[in-house]
Chain A
Amino acid sequence: MSSVKIMVCMGPGGIASGGAEVISAFESELRQANVSADIHKGCSLHKVGCFGLCSKDVLVDLIIDGAKTTYQSVKPEMVRRIVSEHIIGNLPVAEWTADENYHNFYKKQVKVVLSDCGRIDYENIDSYISEGGYKAAEKVFAGMTPEAVTAEIKNSGLRGRGGAGFPTGVKWEACRKTAAGQKYIICNADEGDPGAFMDRAVIEGNPHAVIEGMLIGSYAIGASRGYVYIRAEYPLAVERLKYAIKDAHERGFLGSNIFGSKLKFDIQLKLGAGAFVCGEETALIASIEGQRGMPRPKPPYPVFQGLWGKPTVINNVETLANIPYIIKKGSAWYSSYGTEKSKGTKVFALTGKVKNTGLIEVPMGITLREIIYDIGGGIEGGKALKAVQTGGPSGGCIPANMVDINVDYESLARVGSIVGSGGMIVLDEDNCMVNMAQYFLQFTQSESCGKCVPCRIGTKRLLEILSRITKGKGRDGDIELLEKLSRDIKSASLCGLGQTAPNPVLSTIKYFRNEYEAHLKGKCPAAVCKELLTYYILEEFCKGCGACLRACPSKAITGEKKKLHKIDPAVCVKCGACFDVCKFKAVKKE
């Protein structure tokens, strides 16, 4: 009897593209075709986590007797043919299978954290165990001293994947060395950068890896209790994690006498209420304690005085999910990837103007060019690359001429950006850098906790200056004022939010000062900032079809049929409707 395994992506992208509908289509088609009974195939349907290439979702892996075929952009109505032609007829539907682009997307990736994501059934603990799950924890509990565990993590060179890049092993060791007593390990799943969904995908696709990482961490530092601080905006991740914790409890991986030892470890979920600043570790601790999520100055560091005043280790989701794989395969294996100071792999959420958007995992030190052109498939619509924004609102932009830079902590810091938690937004010639800086400032300003003056009022003033520049009301000296204020906010702010909030401003000024200057002169080079645009109709292209006239909501366009149309700039509201509707590219904006 042959076996058929159908794996449907139910990661964030998969669900958004209709993964649940695809699954029910498979269920009903398989039932109708009576696959198991008629053709003696052991057929199983699995929901799995993120495959990575979200722009081609819903992705479906069909494994017949070990041979894998991937279908991309699957819609429920395509399922009938896949079932009848491929599962029953044994002939893949060639026109829907993943193309070369799909395979190129994976070619340069190295999957560690995501290695089981998209392959295992996140709702099934056995699926994780069958891939070697909880073996690392068993190895640790059975024969490693806590010191050996921290040493192994130190040797692996793993650094905090939440953004700061602090060596994980060093953090663990410091906590281990504090006086014995109650200690805590906290998993920071308060992923808040706009456009970032690495942690979400890991928890939704492989929740047990995070639990196992915490379990190993608890052993290493001597903690009997763990918390997962997770955004309430991730209901699916919360649900899957809850389910996984329950399963792990039932199997004895959590609770008392773990692996026959006298040790106990429990994990409690704490749902965040939607404050970005709660990703900052001291604010996160305050939030778990029931206080308003506001950071406090460090020192003392949480490793010495954390949750309820006790030594506490806080690790990001991705950091913890790396742990089981490092323990299983060894620190030497892990540190064989990456650069001298940045070891291992990093997950990025690749978004923006690239062809292939989605979740990627690459070895540290890979060049930005490889990410954008080999993995990302290049810029969409044949446009020119302008810059890449890494590290979300705390990061900076890297201009196109630096695209051969290595992606690691040190190299990115050198050019004024950061690896951050892993957001990577690709910008092309149609993106206005001033507008982008304004967007991020808008975000950080509204997410400032309000505790310290430079962040609360300083970012507000930055935003005001930026918005007057994008409205064509900038004043001489505004660029210098932005630079000065940005530097002061960075030096004087209390926590990481304020200390990094001006980065998008500083790095866009550094590399795209000419765009700022153009705005001061009343021009937006990328034709994005509405107030600085003028729409007009090119005489040589206008056919007088009247499409623009009909589309204009403010009656700014006049002209008789088959004759040249005109836009009255005094009436024009710059909505862009004429630009979008013109088939002859006769409407121009500048």
Chain B
Amino acid sequence: MVKLNIDGRMIEVAEGTTILNASRMLNIEIPTLCNHPKLTPFGGCRLCLVEVKGVPRPLTSCTTPVSEGMEVTTSTPALEDLRKTVLELILSDHPNDCMICEKAGDCTLQELAYFYGISPYNPPLLKGDKGGFLGERRIYEKRDGNPFIERNMEKCILCGRCVKVCDEIQGVGAIDFAYRGFKSKICPPFERDLDCEFCGQCVAVCPTGALTGKMWQLRGRQKDIKEVDTTCAYCGTGCNITLHVRKNEVVRVTAKEDKWNEGWLCVKGRFGYTFINSPDRLKKPLIRIAPKHIADFGFRISDLNSEVRNQQSAIFKEVSWDEALDYISAKLKEIKEKHGPDSIAGLSSARCTTEENYLFQKFMRAAVGTNNVDHCARL
């Protein structure tokens, strides 16, 4: 354990803890943009600079490990002034179109600009008179053609979080830094369109509006949204997800860091929620009543025009769960008696939990009496 002093308060933390994390234990707020608790420190945004007694220049608290007897000051007029300069510089190369930005209200950069009182449109708020540091801004007109992730690189502050999450958490490495100096940019190799797993982890960690979900656009900002915590139904992993609901419609899905999946999701959990309101979605059990060949046209019911769709009742009958289960049970018994238990096979699903899969094989062996049981993951 290491003892140190932060803003006049003593704290004892484990060796290797960064100054930033030690400060957070004391509820001392240090502004950051590039730091993310689940990713290795980067040290690029330079907002978390602190003063350490005996060190001539300010140090980034996110990268500096604590040492015994260290005396840290997290806020001085000089430090706040440096932070303000850094923010002014970032905003001098930013579209500043918060009024139409998907991320407004949920944007770290916007929050910090607010707290530091910086507006590029209000020169008296800036240090440099007559427009402060306003100058050339990066303009990228080309948009990425991928179906899931909107990449607006003009809003990118090069904090590197997306690069790190893609590399360190997802193990994909689809993007990295390219070019040098002011032209530096984060992009897939050779600036091609993104072609990855589309897990959207990069979207989840982006502190600005540079990365957003394409299907989220113009569907509602954070303040109008009701958050509903639930479990993802896609696979047996059972990630905890949060549905963002506006006007009784799911408009995006996120995950919380304090849940067991640590805020991480895959492409299905994050972007695969449109089934909820899909007209194709089956909400009640259906029993076929028409002879098989009538339905055997190879089309989806939703594809039919309304006239034909009205005849859906002529093909399927909507029933209650009790009715449906009774029907299945009667049919299984009939087959078992007529052809023996081994004429029945069961195929289980990766979307079920381990417990459900256990019960399913138990049912097949004990109730049906066959070992013909398999799992979709083997297909």
Contact = CB atoms under 8 A, between A and B. Distances in A.
B102 interface: no
Contacts of B245: none
Interface in A514-570: none
B135 A453 contact: no
B57 interface: yes
A460 B82 contact: no
A439 to B, nearest CB: 15
B208 interface: no
A485 B89 CA distance: 10
A185 B57 CA distance: 28
Interface stretch (B173-181, B230-238, B286-294, B310-318): B173-181
A457 interface: yes
B127 A484 contact: yes
Given A445-B182, A461-B133, A464-B136, A452 B82 contact: no
Interface in B15-67: 41-46, 49, 57-60, 63-65
A448 B179 CA distance: 10
Max chain A Cβ within 10 angstroms of own Cβ: one of B89, B181, B182: B181
Nearest to B46: A492
Contacts of B65: 299
Contacts of B81: 488
A292 B44 CA distance: 15
A475 B135 CA distance: 14
Nearest to A295: B43
Interface in A443-480: 445-454, 456-461, 464, 475, 477
Nearest to A444: B181
B372 interface: no
A458 B92 CA distance: 10
A461 B89 contact: yes
Contacts of B57: 491, 499
A423 B64 CA distance: 33
A374 B57 CA distance: 39
B82 A461 contact: no
A280 to B, nearest CB: 13
B179 A477 contact: no
Interface in A281-307: 292, 294, 296-297, 299
A481 interface: yes
Contacts of B119: none
B166 interface: no
Contact of B85 (A277, A460, A488): A488
B274 interface: no
A451 B184 CA distance: 8
Nearest to B49: A492
A454 B46 contact: yes
Contacts, number: 116
B176 A477 contact: no
B181 A445 contact: yes
A292 B177 contact: yes
Contacts of B44: 451-453, 494
Chain A interface SS verdict (over half): helix
A275 interface: yes
A463 to B, nearest CB: 9
B80 to A, nearest CB: 12
Contacts of B177: 292, 294, 449-451
Given A457-B92, A461-B135, A492-B85, A452 B184 contact: no
B181 A299 contact: no
Max chain A Cβ within 10 angstroms of own Cβ: one of B44, B45, B157: B44
Contact of B82 (A457, A477, A488): A488
A499 B133 CA distance: 19
A493 interface: yes
Given A297-B43, A299-B64, A461 B92 contact: yes
Contact of A457 (B63, B90, B130): B90
Nearest to A464: B135
Contacts of A451: 42-44, 158, 160, 177, 184
Contacts of B90: 453, 457
A488 B90 CA distance: 14
Contact of B46 (A446, A448, A452, A485): A452
Contacts of A475: 130
Given A297-B63, A493-B46, A453 B181 contact: no
Contacts of A449: 177, 180, 184
A175 to B, nearest CB: 20
Contacts of B136: 460, 464
Contacts of B128: 477, 481, 484-485
Chain B interface SS verdict (over half): loop
A453 B180 contact: no
B129 interface: yes
Interface string A72-94: 00000000000000000000000
Contacts of A296: 43, 63
A453 B89 contact: yes
B85 A297 contact: no
Contacts of B93: 457, 460
A475 B63 CA distance: 39
Contacts of B92: 457, 461
B163 to A, nearest CB: 10
B125 interface: no
Contact of B181 (A460, A477, A494): A460
B130 A494 contact: no
A464 to B, nearest CB: 4
B10 interface: no
Contact of B89 (A294, A446, A458): A458
B14 interface: no
B98 interface: no
A477 B133 contact: no
B129 A460 contact: no
B86 interface: yes
Given A447-B180, A491-B82, A493-B46, A453 B58 contact: no
Interface string B104-137: 0000000000000000000000011110010110
B313 to A, nearest CB: 63
A448 B180 contact: yes
A3 B282 CA distance: 102
A134 B181 CA distance: 43
Contacts of B59: 297
B213 to A, nearest CB: 26
A299 B64 CA distance: 7
Given A460-B136, A477-B129, A481-B128, A452 B181 contact: no
A450 B58 contact: no
Contacts of A445: 181-182
A516 B128 CA distance: 18
Contacts of A458: 85, 89
A584 B121 CA distance: 55
A296 B127 CA distance: 29
Nearest to A461: B133
B89 A494 contact: no
Contacts of B78: 491
Contacts of B157: 453
Contacts of A477: 128-130
Contacts of A299: 64-65
Contacts of A499: 57
Nearest to A495: B43
Max chain B Cβ within 10 angstroms of own Cβ: one of A447, A454, A492: A492
Max chain A Cβ within 10 angstroms of own Cβ: one of B92, B127, B128: B128
A149 B59 CA distance: 34
23 contacts: A277-B180, A445-B181, A446-B181, A447-B181, A448-B182, A450-B182, A451-B42, A453-B89, A454-B85, A454-B89, A456-B184, A457-B89, A457-B92, A457-B93, A460-B135, A461-B135, A477-B130, A488-B82, A488-B85, A488-B86, A491-B49, A492-B82, A492-B86
Given A454-B86, A464-B136, A499-B57, 17 more contacts: A292-B176, A294-B177, A297-B59, A297-B60, A448-B182, A450-B179, A453-B44, A453-B157, A454-B85, A454-B89, A457-B182, A461-B89, A475-B130, A481-B129, A492-B49, A492-B85, A494-B44
